[in-house]
Amino acid sequence: MELKLTNVQKRYGQLLALRNFSVTFERGIYGILGANGAGKTTMMNLITDNIKRDGGSITFDGREILEMGSEFRGLLGYMPQQQGIYANMTTESFVTYIGRLKGLKGKKLAAGVDEVLELANLNGMRHKKTGLLSGGMKQRVLLAQALLGDPKVLILDEPTAGLDPKERVRIRAFIKELAEDRIVLLATHIVSDIESIADQVMLIKNGKLLRMAPPDELIAALPKDWEPVAHHLSLEDVYLYYLGE
Amino acid sequence: MGEWRRVFGNPRRLAALGLIVLLSAVFFVVERMDYFGRDSISVLLDGERYYAGLTARLRGQSPEDIGQFLADEEQLLNDYSNYLFAAANGVDPTESMSASPEEVEAAAREHVYLSALKDMDDAAAHRRIDVAASRVQELRDEAKHIAGYADYLDNIQAQAERQAQTALFGKENSFTRRNLARTAEEFAALRGVKVEFGANRAFEGWIDYELADYLYLLVIVIFLFAFLEEREAGLWGVIRTCRGGRLPLGLQRAGILFCAAVLGTVLIYGVDLLCSLVLSGGWDDMGRSAQSLLELRTMTRRVTIGQWIVEYLLVKAASGFAVGLFLWCLLDVIFNVQFSLAVLLVPVAVEYSLFTFLPVQSILNPLKYINLFSYIRTSVLYTQYLNMDLLGWPVGVRQLALTGLPVLTILFFAWAMLLQHRRHPAEDRDILSAAAGAWDRWADRVRKHFTAGGWEIYKTMVFQWGLLILIVIFLTSGNQNYIRYSTGVDRDPDYEEYLEDIQGPLDGSLEDYFASARANAGGDGKLLSALDRVEAHVAEVRARAEAGGYEPWIVASQWYYESIYGENSRDLQRMNASAAIVFLILCCSGSWAFEQQSGVVLMVRSLRRGRGSVFAGKLLSAGLMTAFVWAMVYVREFLVFVRLFRTAELAAPVGNFDTMAGFPLNITMGQYLFLLYFLRFMMLYLLAMVILFVSRQVPTVELSLIFNFVLLGLPGVLFALGIDIFGFLSPVIPVSSAELLWGLRDRDVSCLVPWLIWLVIGAAAGCLTWRDWCEGRRE
């Protein structure tokens, strides 16, 4: 299983959001770090085919994703950064609706909905309108819908934002578990989330991939004279060193 | 001043207020129209000028002189109408006129209003004469009221005395007896009041204008919703933790609500009154007694019209404030703003039902009169004299309501302030949320079986208020008019009776029938003339059918076809098409805009079936809405038609209808109507595609409604009201389709152009939306 971006280019007017961006994803968790406007969300929108690319190719197992169309989207689980949700639907209705649009039906859909609501710890909120949920709970609903249907490529934009520490740890552990047989792209500003679960960390700056390596390697590659932010060197130091300006 | 500036400085709120005032004035003017169609505005203005001229001329004259003058005027209008008809149809007018044609012509030449009609076409002139006759009738009613008011008061006294002596009307201390005495006593105070003739139309139209009351309520509700904005934004707790966030804020808001009530009163009722006075005159008539108005003859206080208007506006403003306080209290009880509309709608619906459906003299009538709607439909308190049975004592409903107004205001004010001070936003003990939760638990069992298409329909019907809109359309579209009987057609009953005898396929010789009919007619010239016409018609139908290659058929009820689908009904066809367009905008504008407003577009489009299936679901939903609108407007029309028309004649080839003689397709009338209704459905559906396209381009449902209305609805309404230039910009003619099919009779291929234009626009809009949603990448 391989998702490959080759020389991908995206421009918003004069601004070049991604420039000759090339990266290959295989099974595992990819933590994506970058300042606001670095190009993280643009990259995700290109993979989900929500924006038009100006150049390059994106392939999944060697096939162009635009040609795969709905076949590729059938492999995707996407949790956007924006908390867009139908406020009048209940949690169960919302996840069921998304399940329908993922092509699930019958018992498979019902079992899938039960499973993801359990995983996201939303069983108590099943019949509550999503518009009445707190920000953290909405975040869990969005995560639940992304997980539905056993996606092979999971794209999570700020999945743990707004969650309490206990919930974050739970979700992190769950994502780690999921990554065994799929590609997980995880963009977040909470560096510690990535540090503990990511197999690879991508550093993006000004639309370019600066580095991609396991967290330990990135930390080890820091200059010897770098003053750690806390008591010891961590991924936060990597972030500040490479992207801090 | 922060809260005042926030509420009154909000441009959207102010725009909504302006729009409501404008709508109120527009609908007020529309309500004054006797006729809707191409020249409706000029007909209205001419009629109002005529009315103002008559009142100016008759003011100060005795009721008898006024009555005589108006009777003469009515006769002249009638004569001139017959004169014009005779001139247009070449018939002898003397039988139907009270004077010779020369005398009528001379009188019309001298007449300011009628002299202007001679250059108009026949239909336009008849419309104006009808309107003038209606104005004369109003003035005659007024003159009768003026002449008989003293007798009316005497009658009340005499009736009270007579009934008091009758055992049938109860015992000495019964409510009935006391009511009689009270009524007599109150009306006795009016004895000697001077009722005078004047331009009452301006005031009575204003008093009767019911829509203003509901628009005023809407203004109050709009301002009340401003008080819920912090809850929607999740700032309720923050506001309440501020020093001035409880009672001081509540007091400020009460002040804002009061100002909104005053502002709404001045703008809505003031502008309507101004329009009314500008249209009908009456500026100089405000010094007359209020009882001079027919509508206020039962008002038992001696005031002038001007004083009454001031009092009425003050009561309106105070009522608006009290109603606002009450609704505010209801809204303040809820925690969850999602339920705010339900919280308002349910009690308002209950109060409206009690106000409307409870009988006048009922044991429950305190619920009818101590009612929210007594303070919304305030004019009822002045136009109806009624005493309520309160523990056996008669109490005037108006006095009770007006005395109760300050009491209720104080109570609601205290309740509102208490809620402002004591409410705890984080408590979350909301009965409505709990009830909604119970409902959702049950509903989720059903909803989980919905398909993707089913969800689209559900979203349209429930989340986008589609079901409510459909109910409103169902209730309002029933008032549409479909028949425009030709006023200038001389219907000869003998001719029609003969046609009915021979109606149906002309498959045999009618010589025996005509011979027998002539024998029966004897020497009656009228009957023989009718028979001649029938024979000529039969010959014409046969010749036409032979040339066209279809079966000849005598259709006796052609007149009904003409009245509904014929050229005479052109204006109605356009009005109904514009109504269908407005309904469709209301139904379909939410479609894509709802997805954008919910912020789910990125997520939905990244799903396997999130593009084609969602798009198909939207098309299905739009199709259903189109079908409903089509049924409400056009199936109703067809039902009206089949009630009048002999359905067996639907099998008649269409060429047998006189006005359809040149129709190029050899089809039956039933097939022709199928084609007409199919074209209308198709055009409405293509229009729905345009509405969906606009809906996809804007971020909110609100904007989608505004853009669609401005781009499609408004040009249609303006065209239907007679502003021709909008005919090129609006889809009214293709949606109506009827007049385009008439064009085919004359082999005029240019009639296909509007269809083709809107076919291309609709198809292009559908394709572009498909490309945008399924292929486009612009999010």
| pLDDT score, position B167 | 60
Model confidence at A1, pLDDT cuts 50, 70, 90, reads: confident
Q: Judge whether B429 is closer than 8 Å to chain A, CB to CB.
A: no
Collect contacts of B541-546 with beta carbons under 8 A, ≥24 apart: B541/B506, B541/B656, B542/B506, B544/B655, B544/B656, B544/B661, B545/B506, B545/B653, B545/B655, B545/B656
Return the residue in A94, A101, A116 with the most chain B beta carbons within 10 A, the one to mutate for interface testing: A101
Q: Please determine, for residue B724, whether its predicted confidence score (pLDDT) is greater than 80.
A: no
| pLDDT score, position B777 | 57
Stretch B740-760: mean pLDDT: 80
Stretch B431-458: mean pLDDT: 86
DSSP output for B637-652: HHHHHHHHS-GGGGGS
> Is the overall model pTM greater than 0.90, yes or no?
no
* Distance between A234 CA and the closest CA of chain B, angstroms: 33
| pLDDT score, position B614 | 93
Q: Please determine, for residue A245, whether its predicted confidence score (pLDDT) is greater than 90.
A: no
Tokens of B577: 């098409």
Which residue from A50, A87, A128 is facing B602, i.e. has the nearest CB?
Answer: A50
CB-based contact A92 B448, cutoff 8 Å? yes
Answer yes or no: are the C-beta atoms of B373 and B320 closer than 8 Å.
no
Q: Which of B309-313, B401-405, B526-530 has the highest mean pLDDT?
A: B309-313
Answer yes or no: are the C-beta atoms of B320 and B264 closer than 8 Å.
yes
Tokens of B362: 């009922």
The residue type at B257: L
| Cβ-Cβ contacts under 8 Å, A110 against chain B | 448
- What is the number of other CB atoms lying within 10 angstroms of the CB of residue A95? 27
CA distance B56 to B58: 6
End-to-end alpha carbon distance in chain A:
36
Task: Express each pLDDT in B466-510 by its tens digit.
Answer: 998 888 888 777 666 777 765 545 567 788 888 888 888 887 778
CB-based contact B338 A101, cutoff 8 Å? no
| pLDDT score, position B479 | 65
CA distance B588 to B704: 9
CB-based contact B599 A113, cutoff 8 Å? no
Q: Which residue has the tokens 């001007």?
A: B306
Closest among B626, B633, B635 to B587, alpha carbons compared: B626
- The answer for B 269-298 residues in CB contact with A (under 8 A) is none
Buried b (16+ CB within 10 A) or exposed e, B524-552: eeebeebbeebbebbeebeebbeebebbb
| Cβ-Cβ contacts under 8 Å, B612 against chain A | 70
Could you name the CATH architecture of A3-75+152-243? Answer: 3-Layer(aba) Sandwich (3.40)
CB-based contact B444 A129, cutoff 8 Å? no
Answer yes or no: are the C-beta atoms of A34 and A205 closer than 8 Å.
yes
Q: Please determine, for residue B248, whether its predicted confidence score (pLDDT) is greater than 80.
A: yes
| Cβ-Cβ contacts under 8 Å, A155 against chain B | 606
Cβ neighbors of B635 (< 8 A, separation 6 or more) are: B677
Answer yes or no: are the C-beta atoms of B339 and B331 closer than 8 Å.
no
Taking CA atoms, what residue in A is nearest to B440?
Answer: A127
Is B606 strand, coil or helix? coil
CA distance B411 to B416: 9
Which residue from B338, B451, B779 is facing A129, i.e. has the nearest CB?
Answer: B338
Whole-angstrom CA distances from B539 to B545, B559, B656 are 10, 19, 12
Q: Report which secondary-structure segment, H or E, holds A211.
A: strand A208-213
Q: Please determine, for residue B429, whether its predicted confidence score (pLDDT) is greater than 80.
A: no
- The answer for B 334-353 residues in CB contact with A (under 8 A) is 336, 338
Q: Which residue has the tokens 């208490």?
A: B418
Task: Express each pLDDT in A91-149 by its tens digit.
Answer: 999 999 999 999 898 899 999 999 999 988 898 889 988 888 888 889 889 999 999 98
Is B388 strand, coil or helix? strand
| Domain ranges, ordered by start, for chain B | 2-16+198-447, 32-188, 453-467+561-775, 493-556
**Looking at per-residue confidence, does B714 or B615 come out higher?**
B615
* Distance between B462 CA and the closest CA of chain A, angstroms: 9
Tokens of A20: 């000759």
Task: Express each pLDDT in B141-186 by its tens digit.
Answer: 999 999 999 999 998 888 888 877 776 655 667 778 888 888 888 8
| pLDDT score, position A56 | 93
* Distance between B585 CA and the closest CA of chain A, angstroms: 22
CB-based contact A102 B607, cutoff 8 Å? yes
CB-based contact A132 B433, cutoff 8 Å? yes
DSSP output for A45-100: HHHTT-B--SEEEEEETTEEHHHHTHHHHTTEEEE-SS----TTSBHHHHHHHHHH
Return the residue in A79, A86, A129, A142 with the most chain B beta carbons within 10 A, the one to mutate for interface testing: A86
CA distance B270 to B313: 9
Taking CA atoms, what residue in B is nearest to A71?
Answer: B608
Q: Please determine, for residue B521, whether its predicted confidence score (pLDDT) is greater than 90.
A: no
Q: Report which secondary-structure segment, H or E, holds A15.
A: strand A15-25
Answer yes or no: are the C-beta atoms of B499 and B99 closer than 8 Å.
no
By a Cβ cutoff of 8 Å, what residues of chain A touch chain B? 45, 48-53, 70-71, 73-74, 76, 78-80, 82-90, 92-93, 96-98, 100-103, 109-110, 113, 126-129, 131-132, 142, 145, 155
* Distance between A81 CA and the closest CA of chain B, angstroms: 10
End-to-end alpha carbon distance in chain B:
40
Model confidence at B316, pLDDT cuts 50, 70, 90, reads: very high
Tokens of B675: 């084609």
* Distance between A38 CA and the closest CA of chain B, angstroms: 18
CA distance B187 to B302: 11
- What is the number of other CB atoms lying within 10 angstroms of the CB of residue A63? 12
Model confidence at B778, pLDDT cuts 50, 70, 90, reads: low
| Domain ranges, ordered by start, for chain A | 3-75+152-243, 84-151
* Distance between B218 CA and the closest CA of chain A, angstroms: 24
**Strands A153-157, B387-390: parallel, antiparallel or unpaired by DSSP?**
unpaired
Phi, psi (degrees; rounded to nearest 5) at A87:
-65, -25
Q: Which ipTM was obtained for this model?
A: 0.85
The residue type at A172: R
CA distance B74 to A175: 89
CB-based contact B599 A49, cutoff 8 Å? no
CB-based contact A88 B601, cutoff 8 Å? no
DSSP output for A32-43: EEE-TTSSHHHH
Q: Please determine, for residue B568, whether its predicted confidence score (pLDDT) is greater than 80.
A: no
- The answer for B 541-560 residues in CB contact with A (under 8 A) is none
Torsion sign across C-alpha atoms A39, A45, A46, A52? negative
Q: Judge whether B606 is closer than 8 Å to chain A, CB to CB.
A: yes
| Cβ-Cβ contacts under 8 Å, B610 against chain A | 73, 101
Whole-angstrom CA distances from B128 to B42, B73, B119, B153, B350 are 9, 14, 13, 37, 43
Instruction: Tell me how far apart the 2 most distant CA atoms of chain A are, in Å.
Output: 60
| Cβ-Cβ contacts under 8 Å, B601 against chain A | 50, 84
DSSP output for A136-175: HHHHHHHHHHHHTT--SEEEEESTTTT--HHHHHHHHHHH
Number of A/B CB contacts below 8 angstroms equals 121
| pLDDT score, position B102 | 84
Whole-angstrom CA distances from B370 to A56, A189, B402 are 74, 61, 10
Taking CA atoms, what residue in B is nearest to A126?
Answer: B441
Phi, psi (degrees; rounded to nearest 5) at B652:
-75, 135
* Distance between B329 CA and the closest CA of chain A, angstroms: 22
| pLDDT score, position B486 | 59
Return the residue in A52, A95, A97 with the most chain B beta carbons within 10 A, the one to mutate for interface testing: A97
CB-based contact A101 B605, cutoff 8 Å? no
The residue type at B438: A
| pLDDT score, position B487 | 53
For chain B, the residue count is 779
Return the residue in A41, A42, A89, A117 with the most chain B beta carbons within 10 A, the one to mutate for interface testing: A89
CA distance A45 to A34: 16
Cβ neighbors of A203 (< 8 A, separation 6 or more) are: A33, A34, A209, A210, A211, A212, A218, A238, A239, A242, A243
CA distance B740 to B6: 52
CB-based contact A74 B600, cutoff 8 Å? no
**Strands A55-60, A63-64: parallel, antiparallel or unpaired by DSSP?**
antiparallel
SS3 string, B502-523, reads: HCEECCCCCHHHHHHHHHHHCC
The residue type at B373: F
Which residue from B451, B611, B779 is facing A51, i.e. has the nearest CB?
Answer: B779
CA distance B524 to B621: 64
Calculate the average pLDDT of chain A: 88
Taking CA atoms, what residue in B is nearest to A109?
Answer: B448
Burial of A144 (0-12, 13-18, 19+ CB in 10 A): buried
CA distance B704 to B248: 38
CB-based contact A78 B611, cutoff 8 Å? no
Torsion sign across C-alpha atoms B358, B362, B363, B368? positive
Is B536 strand, coil or helix? helix
Q: Report which secondary-structure segment, H or E, holds A201.
A: strand A200-205
CA distance A52 to A45: 9
Answer yes or no: are the C-beta atoms of B289 and B304 closer than 8 Å.
yes
